[in-house]
Amino acid sequence: MQEVVLYGAPKLTTKKRQIDIPKPGPKEVLVKVVATGLNPKDWKWISESGEDGAVNAGDDVTGIVASVGSHVWEYKPGDRVAAFHRMGAPFGGYAEYAIAPASTTFPLPPNISFEAGAGLPLSFMTAAIALYQSLQLPLPTAANKKDIGVLIYGGASAVGAFALQLAKLSNFKPIVTVAGSSIDFVESLGAATHIIDYRKGNVAAEILKALDGKKVNHAFDAISGKGTHEVISEVLVACGGGRIDIVDPVQDKMWKWPAGVEYSRTFVASAYYQKHANIGEERAIADGEFAYWFYRYLSHLLAEGKFKTHPHEVLPGGLDGILDGVQRLYDGKVSAKKLVARIADTPGL
Ligand SMILES: NC(=O)c1ccc[n+]([C@@H]2O[C@H](COP(=O)([O-])OP(=O)(O)OC[C@H]3O[C@@H](n4cnc5c(N)ncnc54)[C@H](OP(=O)(O)O)[C@@H]3O)[C@@H](O)[C@H]2O)c1
């Protein structure tokens, strides 16, 4: 089969290569890939590696189950699925076939196209783990929901937009978010009670003005860069303190979280039970179990029309279009959409 690998130094490059179709391990699924979604991590992870460190970076996969491992009982060949591939592991989605853990594979309902579904697995689970495992906010299934104020920074990003939809399902109030050129899209989600335009500056002051005395004590920073942690800290302190969850480490080594602000970091690898610098084994197991059922809950929400996929753009040329797509993510030129490659569009396949 054909696969595309990506490396970053001295410049972003992809290479197509021919490899054998892999066999799934006992708790894995082999998917014949129909579509695969791109993510900012694709360039972040390989930015310093040359050809020796080249990886098939496709972690978002939709397609048809081709075969399953000996311990897999839920899926059979022919099933229509979406799946989150283990980041950095071989046999990602930039290929004709990909391998994913059965636990991070979920049924793709018939009303969701392969292309739209290919933007879901990684970003959706990042948002879900951040809100419900890291910030420990009440689930959409919680009875007797009380008003809880949240700030979701970056409501037009895939992760932020999924967090906004989940926040609405959980009935949080107020829901404050920050966006720029894609404010119309964020409005169309009908989730945020207040949308602040970061292009106008003074974001912390504008958030506090919009809140008009109401409090937000939980924040999810789906951008985690460009000083967003400082803005959020200022808001939380003005609200009497609270918790922030970030997706990327703060770059400023001198940064200290202010008194009253408790921080955590979500890293979506815990969806497949992986520990990381900010969580130990117990939490990794908890996140893996959470991801198992929450992916299947997502299938239900999608089928019922209660959750929307992120807007998407299909790249021209299938696997041949991935380099251009990753470059656009690197250049920060992608607004409010997922870039997706359809494998059958690859010339010669
Ligand atoms: N830790 C993890 O496990 C994990 C998992 C997934 C993603 N991430 C990270 O999370 C971040 C978001 O990923 P993604 O896939 O959701 O990205 P994305 O969809 O490509 O994000 C693009 C959006 O970011 C918004 N944006 C850019 N600068 C902003 C700012 N200063 N304030 C508010 N919004 C801003 C833009 O909004 P406008 O169009 O309105 O300008 C744009 O639409 C990335 O840094 C990614 O690496 C981490």
- At residue 71, the pLDDT reads 98
Q: pLDDT digits over 308-321, tens only?
A: 999 999 999 999 99
Q: Which atom, in ligand 1's list, is nearest to the CA of 41?
A: 47
Confidence of residue 144 (pLDDT cuts 50, 70, 90): confident
Confidence of residue 164 (pLDDT cuts 50, 70, 90): very high
Q: Which atom, in ligand 1's list, is nearest to the CA of 155?
A: 34
Cβ proximity of 217 and 240 under 8 Å: yes
Q: What is the mean pLDDT of residues 206-228?
A: 97
Confidence of residue 150 (pLDDT cuts 50, 70, 90): very high
CA nearest to 91, candidates 10, 170, 19: 19
Instruction: Report helix, strand or coil for 111.
Output: coil
CA nearest to 275, candidates 289, 290, 263, 287: 287
Q: pLDDT digits over 32-44, tens only?
A: 999 999 999 999 9
**Which uninterrupted H or E stretch holds 162?**
helix 158-169
Instruction: Report helix, strand or coil for 6.
Output: strand
- At residue 80, the pLDDT reads 98
Q: What is the mean pLDDT of residues 260-274?
A: 98
- At residue 272, the pLDDT reads 98
- At residue 102, the pLDDT reads 98
CA nearest to 15, candidates 41, 52, 60, 40: 52
**Which uninterrupted H or E stretch holds 338?**
strand 338-342
Mutate to test the pocket of ligand 1, among 131, 153, 223, 267 (most ligand atoms within 8 A of CB): 223
Ligand 1 mean position, distance from CA 99 (Å): 26
Ligand 1 mean position, distance from CA 159 (Å): 7
Q: Which atom, in ligand 1's list, is nearest to the CA of 186?
A: 40
- At residue 333, the pLDDT reads 96
182 pocket-lining for ligand 1 (C-beta < 6 Å): yes
Neighbouring C-alpha atoms within 13 Å toward the C-beta of 345:
17
109 pocket-lining for ligand 1 (C-beta < 6 Å): no
Strands 60-68 and 28-37: antiparallel
Q: pLDDT digits over 90-127, tens only?
A: 999 999 999 999 999 999 999 999 999 999 999 999 99
181 pocket-lining for ligand 1 (C-beta < 6 Å): yes
Distance between CA atoms of residues 129 and 292, nearest Å:
11
Q: Which atom, in ligand 1's list, is nearest to the CA of 223?
A: 11
Q: What is the mean pLDDT of residues 6-19?
A: 97
Q: pLDDT digits over 47-85, tens only?
A: 899 999 999 999 999 999 999 999 999 999 999 999 999
- At residue 145, the pLDDT reads 80
Domains present along the chain, CATH in parentheses: 2-120+309-345 (3.90.180.10), 124-287 (3.40.50.720)
Instruction: Report helix, strand or coil for 50.
Output: coil
Instruction: Report helix, strand or coil for 126.
Output: helix
